[in-house]
């Protein structure tokens, strides 16, 4: 019963909160629960989706390949995020790829259910529009960050974001462990440059490291770096 949409607290974070009981029942009866392993793709850029993915557990990266084959990570998903909405509603190919950063649980909701509910429930349509508008704002922010901030500022911002959004383990390391390549692809830098910057941040006492793990030590000083002080 805990996998029923009617009982799922995750929907409070997304547009499904606008659905009534009967609509939630239809979604629940048609959805497919999936376990996605770390490193596995949920979908790839240029794919036609037959439905959307609702994140019950775990984190994925949404990324785009540049013309020279370099990956740019556009965002990391949060609990309750619905992926693939734009593609399904616009009946368009996916613009990004989604890959699991750690083991995930997702619910796949078929396209017909989304389309039918959009046609019959104006509150759901409004919630979907709000979420799409939020995604658009996030995309604008990424563009501004890339053009106006240095790679060091973007790295400091990434550490702050990961600490605030995903928390820390009991030893003060970021709960979400990313590879050095992923960090480089988030901030738009070469991996070698990224490794040097991490070493520099560590020497200055801003962060601590242990293997792949990174911990934020001086969040205020990182924020000052982001703000240009």
Please list, in sequence order, all residues whose beta carbon lies within 8 angstroms of the beta carbon of residue 32, skipping any fewer than 6 positions away.
107, 108
pLDDT at 1 over 70: no
Instruction: State the average pLDDT for the chain.
Output: 90
Please list, in sequence order, all residues whose beta carbon lies within 8 angstroms of the beta carbon of residue 30, skipping any fewer than 6 positions away.
109, 110, 112, 113
Which is more confidently placed, 70 or 216? 216
* pLDDT score for 213: 95
* pLDDT score for 24: 85
Tell me 65's DSSP state: E
pLDDT tens column, 95-129: 999 999 999 999 999 999 998 998 899 998 898 88
CA distance 160 to 149: 15
Residue 159 pLDDT class (50, 70, 90 cuts): very high
Place of tokens 């790295």: 155
Q: Exposed (0-12), middle (13-18) or buried (19+): which is 179, by Cβ within 10 Å?
A: exposed
């Amino acid at each position: 019963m805990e996998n029923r949409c009617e009982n799922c607290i995750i929907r409070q974070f997304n547009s499904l909160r606008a659905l009534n009981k009967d609509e939630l029942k239809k979604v629940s009866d048609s959805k497919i629960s999936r376990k996605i392993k770390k490193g596995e793709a949920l979908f790839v850029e240029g794919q036609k989706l037959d439905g959307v993915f609702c994140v019950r557990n775990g984190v994925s990266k949404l990324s785009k390949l540049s013309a020279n084959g370099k990956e740019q990570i556009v965002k990391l998903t949060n609990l309750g995020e619905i992926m693939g909405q734009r593609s399904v509603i616009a009946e368009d190919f996916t613009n990004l790829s989604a890959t699991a950063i750690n083991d995930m649980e997702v619910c796949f909701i078929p396209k017909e259910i989304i389309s039918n509910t959009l046609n019959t429930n104006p509150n759901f349509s409004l919630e979907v529009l709000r979420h799409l508008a939020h995604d658009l704002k996030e995309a604008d922010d990424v563009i501004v960050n890339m053009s106006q901030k240095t790679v060091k500022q973007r790295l400091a911002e990434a550490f702050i974001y990961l600490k605030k959004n995903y928390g820390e383990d009991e030893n003060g390391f970021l709960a979400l462990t990313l590879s050095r390549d992923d960090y480089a692809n988030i901030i738009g830098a070469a991996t070698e440059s990224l490794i040097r910057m991490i070493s520099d941040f560590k020497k200055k006492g801003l962060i601590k490291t242990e293997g792949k793990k990174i911990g934020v030590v001086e969040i205020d000083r990182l924020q000052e770096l982001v703000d240009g002080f």
